[in-house]
Amino acid sequence: MDKLSHPLSHSPFWLRHLPRIGLLVGVLLVLGGTGWWFSQPGKNRESSAIPVSANATVPLRVKTAIARLQSVETKRVLTGTVEPVETVNLTSRVTGKVRQLAVQEGDRVKTGDTLVVIDVADIQAQSGQALAGVNMAQSNYQTAQAQWREARAQLQEAEAELADARLEQQRMAMLRSEGAVSQQVLDKANTRVQMTQARIQQIQAGISQAQATMNQARAQVKQSQAQVSQVSANLNYGKITAPFNGTITRKHAEVGAMAGPGQQLVTLESSDRLRFSTQVPESLIVQVTQGQPVSVRLDALNRSVLGAVSQIIPSADPKTRNFEVKVALNKVSGMIPGMFGRLQLADGAAATFGERIALVIPKSAIIKQFGVTGVFKIDDKDRAIFQPITTGKTQNFEIEVFSGLKAGNRLVLEPTDNLKEGIALQID
């Protein structure tokens, strides 16, 4: 009979040695845990052995301030633009091709500098025609004047002859009444008087016609001379010069282009005299007076420029109800037309458009954590609590708070890096 085999005699190797494997794993775990324990810093091992009540820290000493309500000035910022006092679009007064354009945009020019030259060859031809017209009109006047003088001489001769004819007529009439001469002789004397009178009338008509011709010729002379003056002026209009010192801000034509009367050629702006133009609401216009000193903040220059109110347009825009106000600015380096600005009235009384109550705190209480602006507020257990806030305008050493705090909150001043959320505080 075969011997009975042990139940584990035919089991796998790991199953037959399972108790030994378990013992070995346990020993390894105990050794690993012990090594980790001794690898930790000594103070951590010690702190775990200290009672929880002994882990309390010393309160951090801080200075504090109270959030409070106070009245603040309400100022209205008036935005506007720097503009030149003088701006002109120089135009052509004659027709012709642009022969020369001596400036570019951005060039500075002085009074009298030549900017544009227009070809005036056609006008020069008109000048010759106008001079010929003057000569012809003067010739016609001289001819009419000679005719008038001749007619006047004839009139004087005819009047003398008429006087003689009348004297002879009277003598013949007397002799006829005495029977000394025949009727035929008297009729001849009467006829002479009548013919002389008719001749005088004809001469007088000629004088009137000569006078009219002379007046007409004189008018033609004046008209021709005016045409000569106009043509001469047009010749001068062919050269366009700068009316004042300034800067060329825009070209509207190029060399070779055809220019006509009224056509814009270049835009010139004064660069030495600048002003600030802004729109003032009708509710604030009474706060602005002529000559009032003001300050204009220019963002591009990061500075303020002093000036005075030079002009108040006494008519509001019917749509916006705003009045246009212009401020003459002092000359400063770097200021150019087109810059954006904010008007700040220099007189404190005039700058205040009312007061309101606002919550303010010291600026030294502000701190930023992870990009969030806030303060450390002290709770009723004298612990530091970080409170995000929304801030407004700054005045001196205080800043306005719109949200996050209320009046009476106690805040930590000049918070340091040691100040953490929930830390105990000792208030000075």
- Domain residue spans in the chain? 60-73+355-427, 87-119+239-268, 121-237, 269-351
Backbone angles phi, psi at 404, to 5 degrees: 105, -20
Condensed to tens digits (0 to 9), the pLDDT of residues 339-357 reads 999 987 544 444 444 567 8
With vertex at residue 374, the alpha carbon angle to CA 373 and CA 378, rounded to the nearest 5 degrees, is 170
This prediction's pTM:
0.47
Q: Do the domains 60-73+355-427 and 87-119+239-268 sit in the same CATH topology, yes or no?
A: no
Farthest CA pair distance, the chain: 228
With a CB cutoff of 8 Å and minimum separation 6, the contacts of 235 are 120, 123, 124, 127
Q: Looking at the domain covering 87-119+239-268, what would its CATH class be? A: mainly beta
Which listed CATH number (2.60.40.1180, 2.40.50.140, 2.40.30.170, 3.40.190.10) goes with 269-351? 2.40.30.170
What fold is seen in the domain 60-73+355-427? 2.40.420
pLDDT over threshold 60, residue 262: yes
pLDDT over threshold 60, residue 14: no
pLDDT over threshold 60, residue 11: no
Contact call for residues 240 and 94 (beta carbons, < 8 A) = no
pLDDT over threshold 50, residue 428: yes
CA distance 409 to 415: 16
Express as a percent the part of the chain with pLDDT over 70.
Answer: 82
Q: 121-237 in CATH: which number?
A: 1.10.287.620
